[in-house]
Amino acid sequence: MSLTIVSLLPSLQNTNGDAENAAVLAARARWAGLDARVVAVESAADLPERVDAVVLGSGSDASLDRSRAALLGMHHELRRWGTEGVPILAVGTGWELLGWGIELADGGTIEGLGLVAGRAVPRDGRVAGDLVVNASGGLGLLVGFENHARDYVGAEGSPIGRVQAGSGNGRGSGQEGVRMGDVLGTHLHGPVLAKNPRLADAILARMCERAGLDYVPGERTAVVDGYAEAARAAQLRAAGVAASATA
């Protein structure tokens, strides 16, 4: 059996390299001795028959309307995947589009697909810099960078974790992201799965569980994770967060 990882709208939603989270999952699966492929999906016509995980990256505000229209054409599939427990990772504006909606600085609004709780709202000025999150579910510290001009409200009951450095969802919440079942939304760029192997492995373990497969990280994974850990340690030092700062 080949695991199929869908990269949604990579031509529109990859401004920070977040679509490459799909490549991270596929590489780690192969290093574990599993067959895996990434399928780029720009419209419903591109959807493969089997989907084991979905990655949706971030795009510019100029592409919001086009991205929403394309996602709307896959609304039924997205809802079904979320209900069936297919892991979905959405970053930045990709995440915002899966929420209740996006309020723009000019007063306009873009209706979201309503897959996850919360709404993106304008903030005073753009926030950009290191973001460190103490994640729940045994994921420890997640690191990356944030770059957004909107806060996210309405997800207070289901965040990924608590902010240790940076802004995250903003509005004084001290929280970052949203997690509803196996659907994750986050501001973490990086790509997030390259910098946070524990999160990547948690997604892969869920994929394999659904597919009736065992996931055991391969030998090459340990080498790559050493590079990731060095990068993580440097970012934690720069952000002033102790590596042991977990709940």
pLDDT tens-digit readout, 191-227: 999 999 999 999 999 999 999 999 999 999 999 999 9
Give me the pLDDT at residue 178, please: 98
Report how far residue 235's alpha carbon sits from residue 195's, in angstroms, rounded to the nearest whole number. Answer: 10
Where do runs of H (alpha helix) occur along 42-178?
64-72, 75-84, 93-98
Give me the pLDDT at residue 146, please: 97
Report the pLDDT averaged over residues 18-35.
Answer: 98
- For the cut 80, the answer to whether the pLDDT of residue 244 exceeds it is no
CA distances from 157 to 3, 74, 199, 201 (A): 32, 27, 20, 25
- For the cut 70, the answer to whether the pLDDT of residue 90 exceeds it is yes
Between 207 and 243, where is the model more confident? 207
- For the cut 70, the answer to whether the pLDDT of residue 247 exceeds it is no
Q: Which residues are annotated as a binding site?
A: 126
- For the cut 90, the answer to whether the pLDDT of residue 243 exceeds it is no
Give the pLDDT confidence of 128-183 residue by residue, as tens digits: 999 999 999 999 999 999 999 999 999 999 999 999 999 999 999 999 999 999 99
* Three-class DSSP category at 124: strand
Percentage of residues of the chain with pLDDT beyond 70: 99
Structural domains present in the chain: 2-239 (3.40.50.880)
Residue 117 carries which DSSP code?
Answer: S
Give me the pLDDT at residue 52, please: 98
* Three-class DSSP category at 114: coil
Active site residues per annotation: 189
Close Cβ partners of 230 (under 8 Å, ≥ 6 residues apart): none
Residue 189 carries which DSSP code?
Answer: B
Give me the pLDDT at residue 1, please: 78
Categorize the per-residue pLDDT at 61 as very low, low, confident or very high, splitting at 50, 70 and 90.
very high
- For the cut 70, the answer to whether the pLDDT of residue 22 exceeds it is yes
Rounded to two decimals, the pTM is 0.96
Mean pLDDT of the chain: 96
